[in-house]
Amino acid sequence: MTMYYAIIWRANEPDETFDATQFEDRLPRLLEWLRELKAKNVLVACGGGGFETHMGGLTVVRASSATEAEALVSGDPMLEIGTHEIFEWHVFYADLVDHAAVEKLTG
């Protein structure tokens, strides 16, 4: 049975001490990892943002188990500078059709 998992990434360092070049240096590898998930047809959504005091991001994947979701997220290069939590996401409604920046994953 296919399940959805929300993977929340949070930088180890707070904004005031976080070196943004650490993120920028890993961005090409992050996009490659996301492209791989998309090619496997397991990427549901992804995006970045932040917490009140830390840089962060969200990736939603399709997987058959939490173990499979953990294996998928293990390729995220941002884990070198942050941590993640994985949540089983029970979808009651989703309208994820915004592909405004999809070229970042297809180019």
Domain boundaries, the chain: 3-106
Residue 98 has pLDDT above 90, yes or no: no
pTM strictly above 0.95: no
* pLDDT score of 48: 86
pLDDT band (50, 70, 90) for residue 26: very high
User: How many alpha carbons fall within 13 Å on the CB side of residue 3?
Assistant: 15
Tokens found for residue 86 = 């994985």
**What architecture does CATH give domain 3-106?**
2-Layer Sandwich (3.30)
Residue 97 has pLDDT above 80, yes or no: no
pLDDT band (50, 70, 90) for residue 95: confident
- Can you tell me the distance from the alpha carbon of 4 to that of 87, in angstroms, rounded to the nearest whole number? 9
